[in-house]
Structure 1
């Protein structure tokens, strides 16, 4: 399987399909999405995950959830669509692409002039645009990221920011795929990423399928592989970046960043501009999703592996302070500190 064959969200033959990532790597199964409840559950239960892929799924989901509306006028149709958007956006609070994609779809609908049938087709067209833009964005991030890497490097990654998390290519894995095409011979080390094992189930799976040299390690082994001199760079994705450069990503990312700084290893965070939340001042303002503690104690075991009734704390994300991030890679270029100043310049340049 090549990277181009991994499509986490697709719309073909009038059907919206998502690859059920909760079943990987054991089963590759696509699920058809037909209702707002289907979309909500798919996002909530991590059947589709990764900030960009969630945005794409939400966009298509808004269309498929409203395409059978019986509204006769836009005045009737707009409130129906908004109700669906308000429902889907509650599925996961941290990944900003979810609210970003739905807001973009609603903004287009609010300014659209025409009949309801044309409005529905516009929503589908806008979802297509979001998907294509993300694919192009990931490819550009891959090109920029590759300028920071050299052939033969050992690269550590955490969670999954590959093609499974995006429309295609991935964010932090994009330079690895592009480098592999150029025979860079990267040696990738993938953290397993407890408790949901995205690194083990997803990153190791897609890199192996694409012929990339990948070694799976437990999360608590990151320090020793760095100490051994096997890691030359760390690449990770991001679910929401605050205006000051603090980045929320899968739980455990901040620990990797702190280790990388201790060992003098560059830590690169790959952030699509759609993931930068300029309305969020610092990482302290990012809402962190808390999930069921059974994911820690029971989910992957035949029998519980913790005492009955023990308290659990299961945050899905943590925030890496900007001071630990060597560079932020976007589709519009590489940004370095001071982030509050340079991210704003990036925004102004992008708008122009």
Structure 2
């Protein structure tokens, strides 16, 4: 499933808010359209947001390069970039992609630590586009590598029954997915019996998106409401949990879609391994504790209304965090494109950071 496409003039996004009822695409020719799509979850999933942001910056650079003098153009571009980065605060891939492109621009106009006045923003546009395409291609490759690494955990096992929460599949990435990439690899190897997909309230990403893409691919999937996960575990229906992530700290604390922490606690209580699949770009090497991860609080109407229908009384207060944090002690392993990380996460994540920097 191709949810993100760049045709050199526009970024074409599959509008995930319309799924599974209809497949509609948004043609973004302005970076603000991409920012709105990210904010409104038309494109979602940490890796996919990062890829979309890279292309949005191409559009932003083209607009900024047509305004004012050289200094004004660069100032405007970086202002656009900061606005884009602020659309969703929890998913670190967004900030990672924006900062990666901005660093490229700064390097392009610097010689021996000084601003090279001969390089214009227009001169940087092709480089920005090349970097956005590189981010996209990297995501494709690392999805495949992550899938193989994750499947290796289950070597020799068949008839696996996997529980997942939210959507960490092709719709959330530029490739086959993080958690669902592992699921796809297990299915291809003939090791998978069933995927149990949590509904993922209040926006139903599991019901609308995970079941949609797995069903399309002919992968066996059963839908659960979120409050049925404990029952499924108690009945011995679940062999492992695999989820994605929006941010991982250096201690291995994991921010993911709201409800993930509850699933992790349940898995621990039932002796079921809880795995997280995420690329290097999802790690935040500036934070140690999950307590410091900013949690996005979303509009109360997402809880009080569903598809335009009011489901709660007028004026009732609503708590609507988009994410929660699973402490590292609940995480059995973290699956990355560079291999599987095990506790002590402080040490294994530090090794990953060093290896990627050296490469």
**Fold shared by both chains (TM-score > 0.5):** yes
| Structure 2 stretches lacking a partner, 5+ long | 110-118
TM-score, normalised with respect to structure 2: 0.93
Which of residues 321, 328, 344 in structure 2 aligns to 1:315? 321
Contact 1:269 1:325 (8 Å CA) reproduced = yes
Residue 12 of structure 1, CA deviation: 1.8
Which of residues 328, 341, 348 in structure 2 aligns to 1:335? 341
How far apart are the structure 2 equivalents of 1:97 and 1:128?
A: 15
Say if 2:272 is the partner of 1:265: yes
Distance 1:273 1:341, change over 3 A: same
Distance 1:79 1:265, change over 3 A: same
Which of residues 188, 191, 200 in structure 2 aligns to 1:184? 191
Q: Give the structure 2 partner of residue 286 of structure 1.
A: 293
Residue 13 of structure 1, CA deviation: 5.2
TM-score, normalised with respect to structure 1: 0.95
How far apart are the structure 2 equivalents of 1:136 and 1:77?
A: 34
How far apart are the structure 1 equivalents of 2:175 and 2:188?
A: 15
| Structure 1 stretches lacking a partner, 5+ long | 1-5
Residue 348 of structure 1, CA deviation: 1.1
Contact 2:74 2:121 (8 Å CA) reproduced = no
Say if 2:117 is the partner of 1:121: no
Contact 2:14 2:43 (8 Å CA) reproduced = yes
How far apart are the structure 2 equivalents of 1:135 and 1:306?
A: 41
Instruction: Indicate the larger mover: 332-341 or 320-329.
Output: 332-341
> Secondary structure of the residue that 1:173 maps to in structure 2?
helix
Distance 1:18 1:115, change over 3 A: same
Say if 2:127 is the partner of 1:131: no
Q: Give the structure 2 partner of residue 48 of structure 1.
A: 43
Which of residues 237, 240, 248 in structure 2 aligns to 1:230? 237
Residue 72 of structure 1, CA deviation: 8.2
How far apart are the structure 2 equivalents of 1:196 and 1:110?
A: 39
Instruction: Indicate the larger mover: 43-52 or 178-187.
Output: 178-187
Contact 1:78 1:110 (8 Å CA) reproduced = no
Distance 1:185 1:269, change over 3 A: closer
How far apart are the structure 2 equivalents of 1:107 and 1:278?
A: 17
Residue 185 of structure 1, CA deviation: 3.4
Residue 115 of structure 1, CA deviation: 4.6
Residue 71 of structure 1, CA deviation: 5.2
How far apart are the structure 2 equivalents of 1:249 and 1:7?
A: 23
How far apart are the structure 1 equivalents of 2:59 and 2:12?
A: 11
Q: Give the structure 2 partner of residue 297 of structure 1.
A: 304
Q: Give the structure 2 partner of residue 91 of structure 1.
A: 87
Residues 170-192 of structure 1, C-alpha deviations (whole Å, 9 max, x = no match): 10110111222233333000000
How far apart are the structure 2 equivalents of 1:81 and 1:156?
A: 43
Q: Give the structure 1 partner of residue 115 of structure 2.
A: none
> Secondary structure of the residue that 1:307 maps to in structure 2?
coil
Q: Count residues with an aligned counterpart.
A: 346
How far apart are the structure 1 equivalents of 2:86 and 2:247?
A: 16
How far apart are the structure 2 equivalents of 1:66 and 1:37?
A: 12
Distance 1:13 1:100, change over 3 A: closer
Residue 24 of structure 1, CA deviation: 0.5
Distance 1:75 1:196, change over 3 A: same
